[in-house]
Amino acid sequence: MENKCVHLSIENHVGIITLNRPEVGNAIDLQTARELMEVAIFCSESEKIRAVVITGAGNKFSVGGDLKSFANEGDEIGSHLKIVTAYFHQAISHFARMNKPLIGAVNGVAAGGGMSLACACDLVYASEDSKFVTAYNNIGLTPDGAGSYFFPRLVGMKRALELLYTNRPLDAKEAKEWGIINHVVPKDKLMSVVLDLAQTLVNGPMNAFGVTKKLLYHSLQETLESQMSIESVFIAERASSSEGKEGISAFLEKREADYLK
């Protein structure tokens, strides 16, 4: 896609999204939010893409909202932010709802909306020099990008409030200990490790991945019995699908499943 602020390339069924404003730390302004939404929809719908990786150009993932561009709106800043977040939140929603796995490759600082975006990824790998900071309350603002949804679910309510109230940054090691990221990787190996993982997921049962994601998200609002009822419906559907049939046949025949055929 020919976007200026959010670049998308496709390699071996992997959609690679790069936030492309390195001169401002990949800050999210109106155009970036709009392009991110467009790219999220494209990745969700494209049959050429089976897994998605998101990272930042330069030495930062994203410092969050572009405060300078927001302040330039003067008295219209409130209505402007409603438009920015409308696009940004649609992007998050499409990423969260798509069947394709979404892997965050956090290369440096992930702050504010950048941290929220990282937390919205299914899996997160981060370079050793990465930093995570909520940033919102420190400047008198509140979370966006589903930060208030993901933070307490990932780290618990007390820790989420601590991060937001104190603005304390977490290094990669502590972010892993808190459950915000999956793995810490040397900076020069980050993308190769993430792309290897993405390629493995490309060869997997993409639709089963998507249903699994939905099951886990819905489990937080269901009772034990209602969740098991939903599980029954989904596992029956998956067993009857082409993926399920191939997976079961491959297991019984003691061979690797071919989900790309």
Residue 167 φ/ψ, nearest 5 degrees: 65, 25
Q: Are 112 and 64 in contact (CB under 8 A)?
A: yes
Q: Are 132 and 159 in contact (CB under 8 A)?
A: no
Residue of 7, 89, 171, 183 marked catalytic: 89
- Residue 218 among the catalytic residues: no
- Residue 122 among the catalytic residues: no
DSSP string for 163-213: HHHH---EEHHHHHHTTS-SEEE-GGGHHHHHHHHHHHHHTS-HHHHHHHH
Residue of 29, 66, 122, 144 marked catalytic: 144
H-run or E-run covering 52: strand 51-56
Q: Cα(250)–Cα(261) distance, rounded to whole angstroms?
A: 13
DSSP reduced 3-state for 142: coil
Please list the active-site residues. Answer: 89, 144
